[in-house]
Structure 1
Amino acid sequence: MGDYFLLEILSGIVGWMYFVLWSLTFYPQASLNWSKKSVAGFSIDFAILNVSGYMFYSLFNWGGYIYSGLGTGIVQTNDLFFSVHGLLLASAHLSQVFIYKRGHQKHFKRWSLITLAILWGCVSLVFLLEGIILQYHPSHSFLGISKIPIDLNTLRMAGYGKAVITFLKYCPQIYLNWRRKSTEGYSIMNVLCDFSGGVLSLFQLVIDMIFNGLTKGEWSLLGSNTSAFNFIKFLLGIITIIFNIIFIIQHYLLYPSKRNDPLTLELISSTDRRMVK
């Protein structure tokens, strides 16, 4: 048991390290927006998607932590704090969108608003369906009823919503960087912390699976209420790593000379004014 205890301690250390790194990703961008009194270079669609994403993730984590065995997999304390902290800071980013100058970004893109409407509609529909079945079949546990596949209960749907948003929210920023041929206005420190946090998040997930397998003999990955594998956390880690690699390539390889050159910045500013919504 001594070796197993060390695994548990290591999981906690890695988990809080990822919490710190992923939490730090919010501050450079907020500081950059504040110092410039502008969100030019920062995708406003990223901002609005991120708020709903962390609402979904908070629901997934807190629901899975309180009602264990509902298909969420292992939810650690650091996961809980990160989701709430992320929601607060994502909301701060969104508030900056309404306060500061936006450059060429006058309005939220229609696709991002439609995406949010669809995701919220799906989660709400499953929630209502579970509530209706609970009313007529009280023996079924709320948020984990057997009449609905575990992959389609409210918590898992919220988790899928977060994964979809995590995938989509990076796309406008990648496109914006490509269109402007610059990463000016988007904090590279954000990217580096985000990438490192994604790696550590996956590392904690692996440690938790090994610990659970050694102590409980449970090695199941998917498909059961009792599976310790947090599939949503796995998806988020993979998506985060892939997209941040793209950002790193854009920043250091594709547009390295365009970050601080005065003439380039003036051209970027002119491009911002000309670009259509």
Structure 2
Amino acid sequence: MAVPESELVLFAKAISRVLGWIYFLAWSGSFYPQPILNWRRKATLGLAIDFPTINVLGFVCYTVSTAAFIYSPTIQSQYAYRHPDAPETTVRFNDFLFAAHGAVLCIIIYSQFWPAIWGFKVGSRQKASLPVLGIIWGSIFGTLIVILLVKIKGKDGGYDPSGWAWIDVIYALGYVKLLTVVIKYMPQAWVNFKRKSTKGWSIVPMLLDLIGGVFSIAQLVIDSSLQADWSGITGNPVKFGLGNISIIFDIIFILQHYVLYRHPAKDIEEEEWANERERLLREGIY
């Protein structure tokens, strides 16, 4: 006996909600090992400050972006205009909650590099690198340019979606988030490669990150299929890109930890690791 379509739709929506909260818990949980480790050691040695620095920018942008899609009638109407076959955005509340939670945790981790706040031991060379600072300020400048274009060239003050509109600013913030995701993973992958070891670095956040990425993409696919239009994926490029980029780098990290450098050629002490990362920081690799 065939199951009525309405029941199938309800079941698919329920699965979507479950997947969304699983990815939220997995990705959110991946934030905690590092600040807890810093707190236990009363030090930030071994962690590149570039990672939390660029993460703060990324998650603040992602928080604003998801909040706009969920709570702004203007952005929702402009999205519907540009995606007439699937007028309902695929951004969900768990996306916003993950972004807001991530922003708070990133700010906390970044604050741990300030001895006046936490009293932790911070390396003298643990400072944000010029390339990362350039990316941060370049992203801010680029977003301001989009805002100016909306103000100057936008129709009806940017409220007419047929031209430059406020939704383009929201998309710009989302692309900044994607850029930070690509950049933030590279230093750790490079350090593992240079050391031919993953000792002193936890694989747990990456495993949680992989689970989150898979379930995030799965939720997006289900939500788009429910709308019978795959433009729901292209209409939410940040979530789609965030999940795929995370999965790619997580696979790289898993291969490094469990296959390539499972038996490192030499035992690298933590202080030597810290010195190596500080050297890479000076050379601008971070």
Is the TM-score greater than 0.5?
yes
8 Å Cα contact 2:67-2:96 kept in structure 1: yes
Matches within 5 A, 1:225-240: 229-240=235-246
Once the two structures are superposed, residues 120-172 of structure 1 have per-residue CA deviations (whole angstroms, 9 ceiling, x without a partner) of 111122123323456x735x51xx6422289x810111111100110011011
Pairwise CA RMSD: 2.5
Q: Gaps spanning 5+ residues in structure 1: where?
A: none
Q: 1:68 aligns with which of 73, 76, 84?
A: 76
> With structure 2 as the length reference, what TM-score do the two structures score?
0.82
Task: Supply the distance in 2 between the matched residues of 1:42 and 1:271 (Cα, whole angstroms).
Answer: 10
Closer, same or farther in 2 for the Cα pair 1:123/1:244, shift >3 Å?
same
> With structure 1 as the length reference, what TM-score do the two structures score?
0.84
State yes or no: 1:264 paired with 2:267: yes
Once the two structures are superposed, residues 233-259 of structure 1 have per-residue CA deviations (whole angstroms, 9 ceiling, x without a partner) of 11010000001111111211222235x
Q: Deviation of residue 271 (structure 1)?
A: 5.1
Alignment correspondent of 2:96: 80
8 Å Cα contact 2:149-2:164 kept in structure 1: no
Alignment correspondent of 2:82: none
Alignment correspondent of 2:216: 201
Q: 1:56 aligns with which of 55, 61, 72?
A: 61
Closer, same or farther in 2 for the Cα pair 1:65/1:36, shift >3 Å?
same
Q: Which letter maps to 2:42? A: K
Task: Supply the distance in 2 between the matched residues of 1:179 and 1:219 (Cα, whole angstroms).
Answer: 41
Q: Deviation of residue 175 (structure 1)?
A: 1.6
Alignment correspondent of 1:153: 168
Alignment correspondent of 2:136: 116
* Percent of residue pairs bearing the same amino acid type: 34
8 Å Cα contact 1:42-1:185 kept in structure 2: no
Q: Which letter maps to 1:68? A: Q
Task: Supply the distance in 1 between the matched residues of 2:121 and 2:206 (Cα, whole angstroms).
Answer: 23
Q: Deviation of residue 51 (structure 1)?
A: 0.4
Task: Supply the distance in 2 between the matched residues of 1:270 and 1:101 (Cα, whole angstroms).
Answer: 16
Q: Deviation of residue 270 (structure 1)?
A: 2.9
What is the aligned length?
259
Task: Supply the distance in 1 between the matched residues of 2:194 and 2:44 (Cα, whole angstroms).
Answer: 16
Q: 2:33 aligns with which of 28, 32, 42?
A: 28
Q: Which letter maps to 1:39? A: T
8 Å Cα contact 1:32-1:185 kept in structure 2: no
Matches within 5 A, 1:217-228: 218-220=229-231
Q: Deviation of residue 96 (structure 1)?
A: 1.5
Matches within 5 A, 1:177-216: 177-213=192-228
Closer, same or farther in 2 for the Cα pair 1:243/1:154, shift >3 Å?
same
2:45 is paired with a residue whose SS is coil
Alignment correspondent of 1:42: 47
Alignment correspondent of 1:253: 259
Alignment correspondent of 1:125: 145
Task: Supply the distance in 1 between the matched residues of 2:247 and 2:191 (Cα, whole angstroms).
Answer: 19
Task: Supply the distance in 2 between the matched residues of 1:104 and 1:183 (Cα, whole angstroms).
Answer: 23
